[in-house]
Amino acid sequence: MESRKKTRSIVSSSSKLILASVIAVMFLLALSPLFIQSSSSSAYSNSKITTVVPNGHDDTTDIQAAFNTCVASDQWCTIQLVKGTYHISSQITVYGFHGNFVGKGQGLTTIEALGNMPAPTSTPFWTALLGPSDPWPALFTFEGGSFAISGMTINDTFSTPITSPWLYTIFGESTTALEASIEVTGQQASASIDHVTANGAAGDWDGAWNMVDGIHIWGTVLPSGWTDPLADIPPLTGTFSITNSIFNFMEEGAFANFLSNSNVAMRNNIVTDSWYGLGIGNISNTNVLLSGNEGTITYGTAIEVEQLVLKSDLLSSTAIMTDNNFQLSQGANGVFVADLGQFNFGITSTPLSAVVSGNVFQNSYPAGNNPFASVIVSLELESTIVSSNAIAGGGSPGVYITDGLGTVIGNAITGADTGVWLDSASSVLLVGNVIKNSVEYGIAVTSTNAFGLPITPSPSSNNFIVGNLVHKSGTYDLYWDGLGTGNVWHGNYYSTSNF
């Protein structure tokens, strides 16, 4: 599977650090209601309203003209779509929009792509000035501004929505697929997207899709002369929320990338028939909340937060992933969090911390101790707290942590290949988990670097495995490869072990 995501690729023994981690979680959760409230762009009740009525053949010019008039007015305004079906035949580009773009509801106001849209002429497309002469491969592209989009369905049913293949230079894939139905870019913007449905179809992206993302938020408008997409890409700063939306049949529902000094919330969305659910990549000094989302995911990852591409050091960021509920199949991950900048570019990693709490994952995957198919994966994070998650079914590992700090507490894991796998991990606190009916091991502590990171495996040391209930594992309830020092096994309820 060739994919732009293919590169994806706790505490210490000090009681002070344990206490600091708990306080940090409580502080973040206490702030989350404020964060959620600040993540929405409010509609102004006294804004100027422009209503666009479908003309029955091609509404591109009318919708574009409404946006142009609104932006030219230099005031907050509302572009209102009525019940019915609108058709667009080319990308709509909007600069500095301040206002609302609203329909009458999902399934009531529908925007249908007509296909045969023009392809970008610049490679990479994001080095060009946005506009008709060199359109981005999205149905709607918003550069900058502060706006809300709500109450509509956007469909593209064409297997080749772009007239000729364009080259996605970072990943070297030539495609006729859309980059997104809605693209948000620039260097500063705020966007609230609520109650929007995006429907894709079969196409040539990864041999499966006609759309990469339903919604894509990223800061990759390069200044003149910048052509290297892996150089220090100017990040997008702002507040972004995607809520109560539905994404069907595309590679990934929504993805936000290259953000700095930002807040991002993705809440109560549904993603179905996709390889990936909702993702965040390459963030600096940014807070992320992914909560209440659900759906069905195959092959990829339901929720992902990764530092992968930028060559410069990034400032600390925190991601909270809570109350999500996903069905997983074909080796899909439930949560994948990673900070791999130091391996990709030899830089000193800047801390990425994550809280993964209260999620439910139903997993169906044949037995096989493969960390790539783990339900919750943590690679190289400054701190990962995995708590109160329910993982059921399937034969892939439940929680896999390598080469980073972590706390794994109060999870219920049933039917995994290995319930919790600490691999080349140190100073992980593993306490109060209930792990039943594992195919191979209930808890495994090894030093294999099974995920294949470009490092020499280090013995797992100074881990605290305390007060866990491990029951009816196929090989051993508790397994240790005998390497490493300072591991503490105390007060666990189990029947079998190899030591």
Separation between Cα atoms, residue 255 and residue 309, nearest integer Å: 15
CA of residue 8 relative to chain centroid, distance: 12
Q: Which residues contact 411 (CB under 8 A, 6 or more apart)?
A: 386, 387, 388, 389, 390, 391, 398, 399, 420, 433, 434
The CATH 2.160.20.10 domain(s) of the chain lie at 309-499
Task: Give pLDDT, residue 245.
Answer: 98
Residue 287 neighbours by CB distance under 10 Å? 20
* Tens of pLDDT, residues 192-212: 999 999 999 999 999 899 999
Q: Is residue 245 within 8 Å of 195, Cβ to Cβ?
A: yes
Q: Hey, what CATH class is 309-499 in?
A: mainly beta
Give the model's pLDDT for residue 383. 87
Which residues in the chain show pLDDT less than 50? 1-45, 221-223, 226, 229
Question: In the prediction, which pLDDT does 218 show?
Answer: 85
* 79 close to 67: Cβ distance less than 8 angstroms: yes
Cα–Cα distances (Å) from 453 to 26, 334, 396, 403, 458, in that order, read 32, 20, 19, 10, 12
What's the CA gap between 463 and 420, in Å, rounded? 13
**pLDDT at residue 7, rounded to an integer:** 35
Stated pTM of the model: 0.89
The 10s digit of each residue's pLDDT in 404-456 is 789 999 999 999 999 999 999 999 999 999 999 999 999 999 998 787 776 67
Q: What is d(CA 416, CA 364) in angstroms, rounded to the nearest whole number?
A: 10
Token couple for 143? 């550069």
Q: Which residues pair with 284 in a beta bridge?
A: 260
Contacts of 245 (CB under 8 A, 6+ apart): 193, 194, 195, 196, 197, 198, 214, 215, 253, 254, 269, 270
Cis peptide before 371 (omega within 30 of 0): no
Fold type of domain 40-274: Pectate Lyase C-like (2.160.20)
Q: Looking at residue 53, what is its pLDDT?
A: 98
Determine the pLDDT at residue 233. Answer: 59
pLDDT value at residue 372? 78
**Which two tokens mark 331?**
């080796």
The CB density around residue 285, as the number of other CB atoms within 10 Å, is 16
